[in-house]
Chains A and B, each alone.
Chain A
Amino acid sequence: QQQVKQSPQSLIVQKGGISIINCAYENTAFDYFPWYQQFPGKGPALLIAIRPDVSEKKEGRFTISFNKSAKQFSLHIMDSQPGDSATYFCAASIAGSNYKLTFGKGTLLTVNP
């Protein structure tokens, strides 16, 4: 059972454009939603995270939008740059066990110059 569904699988964006990656979850007990960024040959690295008590969190060009009623959250990358080309994973964890993450299957983002 896939508890976190991520889309699209791949995304191509022009430099300066907005990249949007979406995730949906099923378990209403999830209460921590991070995004990880992975470059080829490297492990995933924490990019930004949100808890359900807020609807949006912004860090630089990266924004998480969270819709609790729809059980969806998304990552927006503003002014996308070629250096943002990577695989992005959403994840979720359950209250009281927020060290045990369930990951989406990832989105390969390519930003063309």
Chain B
Amino acid sequence: DAGVIQSPRHEVTEMGQEVTLRCKPISGHDYLFWYRQTMMRGLELLIYFNNNVPIDDSGMPEDRFSAKMPNASFSTLKIQPSEPRDSAVYFCASSLWPFYGYTFGSGTRLTVV
């Protein structure tokens, strides 16, 4: 298995632009998580899905953030409009029930200028 695949690896965009981050979880994993990592706040859970259904989006910072999981093999995290304070590394992770820990992707480093 290729693991959790995220794209792009790096994204530089201008303030106000729409940004879409993509994730392909490990086949067969029924939980998918989006995390954001910054120096100040560490790893923060934004949202997670179970069987493609959003379960808890309480970590999504603002309405500018949205996430979808149209099928078991694909998820997106969208920021519209983007702001400089959204600059961070965004990780996608997946896991299998019963839970033995997450498998993280390599992340997308987002820079908003």
How many A residues touch B, CB cutoff 8 Å? 19
Tell me which residues across on chain B come within 8 A of A100, comparing CB atoms.
45, 48, 56
> Is A113 interfacial (CB-CB < 8 Å)?
no
Contact of B102 among A41, A101, A102, A104 (CB under 8 A): A101
Which A-B residue pairs are the 10 nearest by beta carbons?
A: A43-B104, A46-B101, A105-B42, A103-B43, A99-B99, A98-B99, A44-B104, A43-B91, A99-B31, A43-B105
Q: B interface vs A, CB < 8 Å?
A: 4, 31, 42-43, 45, 48, 56, 91, 93, 95, 97, 99-107
> Is A54 interfacial (CB-CB < 8 Å)?
no
> Is A49 interfacial (CB-CB < 8 Å)?
yes
- Give 1 or 0 for each of A84-113: 1 = CB within 8 Å of chain B CB: 000001000000001111111110000000
Tell me which residues across on chain B come within 8 A of A34, comparing CB atoms.
101
Known: A34-B101, A43-B91, A43-B107. 11 other contacts (CB 8 A): A32-B99, A43-B105, A44-B43, A44-B91, A44-B102, A44-B104, A89-B42, A99-B97, A100-B45, A100-B48, A100-B56
For residue B102, give the distance in angstroms from its CB to the closest CB of chain A: 7
30 contacts between A and B (CB under 8 A): A32-B99, A34-B101, A41-B106, A42-B106, A42-B107, A43-B4, A43-B93, A43-B104, A43-B105, A43-B106, A43-B107, A44-B91, A44-B102, A44-B104, A45-B103, A45-B104, A46-B100, A46-B102, A49-B101, A98-B99, A99-B31, A99-B95, A99-B99, A100-B48, A100-B56, A102-B45, A103-B42, A104-B42, A106-B42, A106-B43
